[in-house]
C-alpha cells in the first residue's frame, strides 16, 4: 500500500475514523498524555517538595534497577502473586462453574451467594480482611483458638500477610472466572456430551477430554486478562498490608506509588512505573502470541 | 441446560460413594455446596454483623448480644457520606453511559472492517490495556490539574472512560462478531447509509451484550478506589475513599466503616440480583 493511498480518505475510511474518533480522543488526553508526562518525569530530578525538573538522564532507572528492594522483593512478589492468584482463582472458578452448570434445587440462591464478591468493592474486602485477620480482635484467631491453635500475628509477618492478600484476591476474582466460564459452558454444543454419555465415559474423562478442550478459548482469554490485571494490583495490597511489614509484601504498583508519593521522588516513582510497564507489555505480547495461536482473536 | 442430563444414565457399576452409603454422593454434594456458600458469604456476613454492633462492643464481635442501628444513623447524618453517595452514584452512571457510547462504535469498527486502521487500533488498545494503572494515574494527577478539572466530575469521569476503552472495545468486537453482518449489507443495498446500518440494524442486535457490559461497568466504577483516591479531594468525595478514611492510623472506627460499606453494598446488591441473568445471557453471545 502506497503512502498516498493510506492518506486518502474515501467515504469508507471516514466512517471508520469517525467510529473510533471519540475513543481515540479520550485515550490521547487521558492515557497517552499522562504516560508521556510520566516518561518525561522519569528522566528528571523531580522531587515533589522541590521540583527542580533538571534533566538527569538514566539516573532514576539505574537506581531502580540496582535497588535490592526492587529486584529481590518487588519483582518476585509481583510475579509470584500473579501466578498464584491466577492459578487459584482459575481452578476455583472452574469448579464453581461446573457446579452451577448442574441443575439442582436452590441453584439461583447459590449463584447469587457466589457472585457476592463481585459486588463488594476490593477496598471493602481488603478492609474486612484486615479486620478479620487482626491479631488481637480478629475472628480468624478466635476460630483458630477454638481448634487449639495459638493466635498468629497475621499481618506483621511476610508470608502470612502475603497469604491474607492472596486469599482476598482469590475470593474477589473467583466469581469473575466462574461467571465467564459458566457462560462459556452454557454455550457449548450438547452433542459431544451426549456421545460421551452413550459411550459411558466417566465424569472425569468427559471433563478432561471434552469440556476442557472445548472451553480452552474462554480459559485462555480469562487467564490473559486476569494475569495482566493481577500484575498491577494496588488497592488490596495497599489496604491490607500497605506493602509492609517493612516493605516485605510490596508489589510493583506499591513500589512506584511509595517512591513517588511517600518518598516524594516523583521522577524515581515514574521510572519504576515505566520499568513495570515495559515488563508487563513485553509479557503481554508473549501471552498474546500464545493466545493468537490457540484462539483467533483478531482475524 | 444441555440435553445431556435428559438422557437416561447408562448402567454403571456402583462407584465408591454408592458403595459407601446410598445417597452419600448427594449428601457430599450438598455439604460441598454449603461449604462453598459459607466461604463466599462469610466476609460479607461479618461486615453486616460488625455494622450492627455499638462502638464499644465492636472489638468483640463474636461475644455479647448488643445490636444497634445507631451506626447507620451516625453515618447517614454525616454530610460528607451523603455527598459521597450521590457523587459515586452520578459518576458510575455517567461513566457507564459515556464508556458504552464511546466503545460501541469502536468495537463495531474493529469487528466489521479489515486493513491497516483496524489493525493499528487493535494493537494500540491491546498495548494500552496492559499499561499498569500506576504509570498513568500518578502523572494524571498533574495532567488534570493542568487542565483545571482536578477534583471535579470530569476529572474523574474521563479517566474512568479511558480505563474502559481498551477492554470494552475488545468485548464489543466479540459481540458484533457474533452478529451476522449480512443484514447490514442488505440494509445498505436498500439505501441505508453506513450510519443507518450501524444504528438501526447492528446496534439493536447487540443490546443483550450491551446490557451485560453496562451492569459490569457500573459495578466496577462504583467499587473503584485508586483513581478516586488520587484524582479527587474535598470537593468531590467518593464513597470508597470516604469509607477507607474511617479506618486510619488515627482512629479505627470499624463500626462506622462497616455501616458505610453496608450502605454502599445495597445498590450493588440490587444491580447484581436483577442484573445477573442479563449478564450471563449477554456474555454467552
- Quick: pLDDT tens for B112-136: 888 888 999 988 888 888 888 888 8
CA torsion sign for B237, B241, B247, B250 is: negative
Residue B159 is predicted with a pLDDT of: 92
Neighbours of A294 (CB within 10 A): 13
Specify whether the CB–CB gap between A256 and A269 falls below 8 A.
yes
Locus of grid cell 538522564: A57
- In this prediction the ipTM stands at 0.81
| Chain A residue closest in CA terms to B267 | A119
Burial call A25-52: b when 16+ CB within 10 Å, e when fewer: ebbebbbbbbbebbbebbbbbbeeeeee
Residues of chain A below pLDDT 70: 1-7, 292, 294-299
Locus of grid cell 452520578: B90
B97 interface with A at CB cutoff 8 Å: no
Neighbours of A117 (CB within 10 A): 21
The candidate with the shortest Cα–Cα distance to B239, out of B217, B257, B253, is: B257
**Residue spans of alpha helices (H) in A30-74:** 33-41, 59-66, 68
Locus of grid cell 490521547: A28
Q: Which three cell numbers stand for residue B113?
A: 472492517
Length of chain A: 299
- Quick: pLDDT tens for B174-190: 888 888 888 889 988 88
Protein fold of A59-294: MetI-like fold (1.10.3720)
Residue B171 is predicted with a pLDDT of: 83
Q: Which three cell numbers stand for residue A118?
A: 463481585
**How close is the nearest chain B Cα to the Cα of A274, in Å?**
6
The candidate with the shortest Cα–Cα distance to A275, out of A61, A59, A48, is: A61
**Residue spans of alpha helices (H) in A191-265:** 191-198, 203-206, 212-231, 235-240, 252-257
| Chain B residue closest in CA terms to A189 | B2
B12: helix, coil or strand? Answer: coil
> Cα(A274)–Cα(B229) distance, rounded to whole angstroms?
21
- Long-range Cβ contacts of A67-72 (<8 Å, 24+ apart): A69/A247, A69/A250, A69/A255, A70/A255, A70/A272
Give contacts of B273 with chain A, Cβ < 8 Å. 112
Residue B9 is predicted with a pLDDT of: 52
Burial of A186 (0-12, 13-18, 19+ CB in 10 A): middle
B45 interface with A at CB cutoff 8 Å: no
Burial of B245 (0-12, 13-18, 19+ CB in 10 A): middle
Mutate to test the interface with A, among B134, B225, B251, B271 (most CBs of A within 10 A): B134
Residue B233 is predicted with a pLDDT of: 84
B279 interface with A at CB cutoff 8 Å: yes
Give contacts of A188 with chain B, Cβ < 8 Å. 2
The candidate with the shortest Cα–Cα distance to A131, out of B50, B3, B275, is: B50
Give contacts of B152 with chain A, Cβ < 8 Å. none
Q: How far is CA B273 from CA A55, A85, A112, A183, B267, in A?
A: 54, 27, 7, 17, 10
**How many contacts (CB atoms, under 8 Å) link A and B?**
261
Specify whether the CB–CB gap between A251 and A237 falls below 8 A.
yes
Q: Which three cell numbers stand for residue A237?
A: 495490597
Query: CATH second-level architecture of B72-284?
Result: Orthogonal Bundle (1.10)
Per the CB < 8 Å rule, is B226 touching A235? yes
Residue B249 is predicted with a pLDDT of: 57
> Cα(A75)–Cα(B209) distance, rounded to whole angstroms?
38
Residues in a beta bridge with A55: A44
Residue B102 is predicted with a pLDDT of: 93
Residue boundaries of the structural domains of chain A: 59-294
Neighbours of B60 (CB within 10 A): 11
Neighbours of B240 (CB within 10 A): 25
Residue boundaries of the structural domains of chain B: 16-70, 72-284
- Quick: pLDDT tens for B66-100: 788 888 888 888 888 899 999 999 999 999 999 99
Q: Which three cell numbers stand for residue A149?
A: 491453635
The candidate with the shortest Cα–Cα distance to B230, out of B244, B216, B217, is: B244
Give contacts of A273 with chain B, Cβ < 8 Å. 132, 134-135, 138
> Mean pLDDT over all residues of chain B?
83
Which A residues in the span 104-163 are in contact with B, Cβ-Cβ below 8 Å?
104, 110-125, 127-132, 136-137, 139, 142
Q: Which of A29, A137, A281 sits opposite B131 (nearest CB)?
A: A281
Residue A140 is predicted with a pLDDT of: 86
pTM: 0.83
Residues of chain B below pLDDT 70: 1-22, 61-62, 249-251, 284-285
> Cα(A8)–Cα(A275) distance, rounded to whole angstroms?
38
Amino acid at each position: 500500500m502506497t503512502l498516498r493511498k493510506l492518506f486518502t480518505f474515501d467515504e469508507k475510511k471516514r466512517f471508520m475514523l469517525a467510529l473510533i474518533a471519540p475513543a481515540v480522543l479520550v485515550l490521547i488526553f487521558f492515557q497517552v498524555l499522562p504516560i508521556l508526562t510520566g516518561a518525561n518525569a522519569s528522566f528528571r530530578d523531580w522531587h515533589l517538595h522541590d521540583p527542580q525538573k533538571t534533566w538527569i538522564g538514566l539516573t532514576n532507572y539505574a537506581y531502580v534497577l540496582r535497588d535490592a528492594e526492587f529486584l529481590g522483593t518487588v519483582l518476585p512478589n509481583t510475579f509470584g502473586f500473579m501466578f498464584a492468584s491466577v492459578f487459584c482463582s482459575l481452578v476455583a472458578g472452574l469448579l464453581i462453574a461446573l457446579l452451577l452448570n448442574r441443575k439442582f434445587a436452590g441453584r439461583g440462591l447459590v449463584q447469587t451467594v457466589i457472585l457476592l464478591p463481585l459486588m463488594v468493592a476490593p477496598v471493602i474486602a481488603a478492609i474486612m480482611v484486615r479486620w478479620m485477620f487482626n491479631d488481637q480482635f480478629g475472628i480468624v484467631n478466635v476460630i483458630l483458638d477454638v481448634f487449639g491453635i495459638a493466635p498468629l500475628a497475621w499481618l506483621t509477618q511476610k508470608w502470612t500477610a502475603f497469604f491474607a492478600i492472596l486469599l482476598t484476591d482469590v475470593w474477589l476474582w473467583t466469581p469473575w472466572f466462574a461467571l465467564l466460564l459458566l457462560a462459556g459452558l452454557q454455550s457449548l454444543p450438547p452433542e459431544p456430551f451426549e456421545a460421551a454419555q452413550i459411550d459411558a465415559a466417566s465424569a472425569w474423562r468427559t471433563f478432561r477430554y471434552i469440556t476442557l478442550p472445548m472451553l480452552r478459548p474462554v480459559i485462555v482469554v480469562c487467564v490473559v486478562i486476569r494475569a495482566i490485571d493481577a500484575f498491577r494490583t494496588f488497592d488490596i495490597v495497599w489496604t491490607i498490608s500497605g506493602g509492609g511489614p517493612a516493605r516485605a509484601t510490596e508489589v510493583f504498583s506499591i513500589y512506584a506509588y511509595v517512591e513517588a508519593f511517600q518518598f516524594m521522588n516523583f521522577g524515581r516513582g515514574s521510572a519504576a512505573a515505566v520499568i513495570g510497564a515495559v515488563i508487563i507489555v513485553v509479557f503481554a505480547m508473549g501471552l498474546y502470541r500464545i493466545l493468537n495461536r490457540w484462539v483467533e482473536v483478531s482475524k | 441446560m444441555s440435553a445431556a442430563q435428559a438422557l437416561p444414565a447408562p448402567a454403571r457399576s456402583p462407584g465408591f460413594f454408592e458403595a459407601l452409603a446410598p445417597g452419600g454422593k448427594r449428601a457430599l454434594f450438598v455439604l460441598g455446596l454449603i461449604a462453598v456458600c459459607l466461604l463466599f458469604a462469610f466476609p460479607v456476613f461479618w461486615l453486616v454483623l460488625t455494622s450492627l454492633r455499638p462502638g464499644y462492643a465492636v472489638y468483640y464481635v463474636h461475644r455479647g448480644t448488643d445490636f444497634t442501628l445507631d451506626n447507620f444513623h451516625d453515618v447517614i447524618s454525616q454530610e460528607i457520606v451523603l455527598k459521597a453517595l450521590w457523587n459515586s452514584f452520578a459518576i458510575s452512571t455517567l461513566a457507564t453511559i459515556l464508556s458504552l457510547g464511546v466503545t460501541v462504535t469502536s468495537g463495531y469498527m474493529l469487528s466489521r472492517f479489515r486493513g491497516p486502521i483496524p489493525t493499528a487500533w487493535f494493537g494500540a488498545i491491546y498495548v494500552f490495556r496492559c499499561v499498569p494503572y500506576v504509570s498513568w494515574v500518578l502523572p494524571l494527577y498533574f495532567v488534570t490539574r493542568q487542565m483545571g478539572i482536578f477534583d471535579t466530575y470530569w476529572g474523574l469521569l474521563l479517566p474512568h472512560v479511558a480505563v474502559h476503552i481498551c477492554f470494552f472495545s475488545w468485548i464489543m468486537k466479540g459481540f458484533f462478531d457474533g452478529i451476522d453482518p449480512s443484514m447490514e449489507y442488505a440494509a445498505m443495498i436498500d439505501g441505508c447509509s453506513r450510519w443507518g446500518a450501524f444504528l438501526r440494524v447492528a446496534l439493536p442486535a447487540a443490546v443483550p451484550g450491551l446490557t451485560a457490559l453496562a451492569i459490569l461497568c457500573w459495578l466496577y466504577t462504583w467499587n473503584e478506589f485508586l483513581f478516586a483516591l488520587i484524582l479527587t479531594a474535598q470537593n468531590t468525595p467518593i464513597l470508597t475513599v470516604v469509607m477507607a478514611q474511617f479506618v486510619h492510623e488515627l482512629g479505627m472506627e470499624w463500626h462506622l466503616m462497616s455501616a458505610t460499606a453496608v450502605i454502599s453494598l445495597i445498590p450493588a446488591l440490587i444491580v447484581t440480583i436483577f442484573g445477573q441473568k442479563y449478564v450471563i445471557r449477554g456474555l454467552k453471545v
